[in-house]
Copies of this chain bind each other. A is one copy, B any other.
């Protein structure tokens, strides 16, 4: 690799001058500058970011930990973050915790040793402890995405989960459904709590009593969604739900398969709404009614916020931003059968 000394030799100046010519061009004489720039170009010089970071005590690095890079929601989130980071000259270290707290802890350690200037994270169940253990956490701004860990002083960019869920369930109610089941996620995750709360509020507002048997845990995963859906649809006829609200798209995929395996038809036999939009939700037959989240915007906004936090060095107190969801009514919801 070409280093600054090589360029200096080629341009017949000192390393200091090369450095200045490249980073503070107006401090060096025009001819010298030209000579240096040309030499640098010719040799293909690229400043070593390790050395620069060490000297300037800044890495221009951000850490991003998502909980499932294979889920389109998270991939989109990551893209938003990266695009925003790039705009401001930051690089992003992307990790995938797979919802596993141990992995998250390991990656946080690893990340820390690379001196990131800020951290963006989709927290898992143990994030709060992990962040407490991180020494540098006090100095480094942290933004949580999609969910919160409850760590004090941390910023977050989320969506209106309660409202979004409520609108989805109200849609079902307006179609005439009364027995509406919910497949929820891990109760420790705030999105699961909030979406369940929205479900509760919608029922309450419509004067429908909450039946605990109609709420099943799908643990945020496809298999869990499958199992939870089977459980709900195998209830004896009078209690069996005529519509299902599912907490995220992974579980919704399981739900669709469970419904098919039971030989039921959507929406004739059962209506289905899910949080989170995906390609398959649009392409499946019938297209799925969903609560769409602005995933890209969440990532982008979170990163913008982080960068602006880094600009003003005063460590602002934690603020929570919430973006709106949109209920996309497609063809998986209809009036309940009259029997």
A contact residues vs B (CB 8 Å cutoff): 1-2, 43-44, 46-51, 53-54, 59, 69-70, 72, 75-76, 78-79, 82, 91-96, 109-110, 112-115, 133-136, 139, 253, 256-257, 278-280, 283-285
Complex interface: chain B residues within 8 A of A94 (CB): 92, 94
Which residue in B50, B112, B139 is a CB contact (below 8 Å) of A115? Answer: B50
Task: Give min CB distance, A48 to chain B, whole Å.
Answer: 6
Given the interface pairs A284-B284, A285-B285, the reply to whether A69 lies near B59 with Cβ below 8 Å is no
| CB-CB nearest in chain B for A72 | B70
- A75 and B82: CB pair below 8 A? no
Cα A122 to Cα B198 with chains together (Å): 43
Given the interface pairs A75-B70, A78-B69, A256-B283, the reply to whether A48 lies near B135 with Cβ below 8 Å is no
Cα A280 to Cα B78 with chains together (Å): 21
- A135 and B1: CB pair below 8 A? yes
Q: Sample 20 A-B pairs with CB under 8 A, ordered by A number.
A: A1-B136, A1-B139, A43-B135, A46-B109, A48-B54, A49-B113, A49-B114, A49-B115, A50-B50, A50-B53, A50-B114, A51-B54, A69-B75, A69-B78, A69-B79, A91-B93, A257-B283, A279-B280, A280-B280, A283-B284
Cα A88 to Cα B325 with chains together (Å): 41
Complex interface: chain B residues within 8 A of A279 (CB): 253, 278-280
Complex interface: chain B residues within 8 A of A79 (CB): 69-70, 96
Task: Give min CB distance, A134 to chain B, whole Å.
Answer: 8
- A253 and B283: CB pair below 8 A? yes
Cα A76 to Cα B96 with chains together (Å): 12
Complex interface: chain B residues within 8 A of A93 (CB): 91, 93
Cα A94 to Cα B50 with chains together (Å): 18
Task: Give min CB distance, A233 to chain B, whole Å.
Answer: 18
- A113 and B253: CB pair below 8 A? no
Cα A81 to Cα B16 with chains together (Å): 40
Which 4 pairs show the lowest CB-CB distances between chains A and B? Answer: A280-B280, A44-B135, A285-B285, A46-B113
Task: Give min CB distance, A105 to chain B, whole Å.
Answer: 13
Complex interface: chain B residues within 8 A of A72 (CB): 70, 72
| CB-CB nearest in chain B for A82 | B96
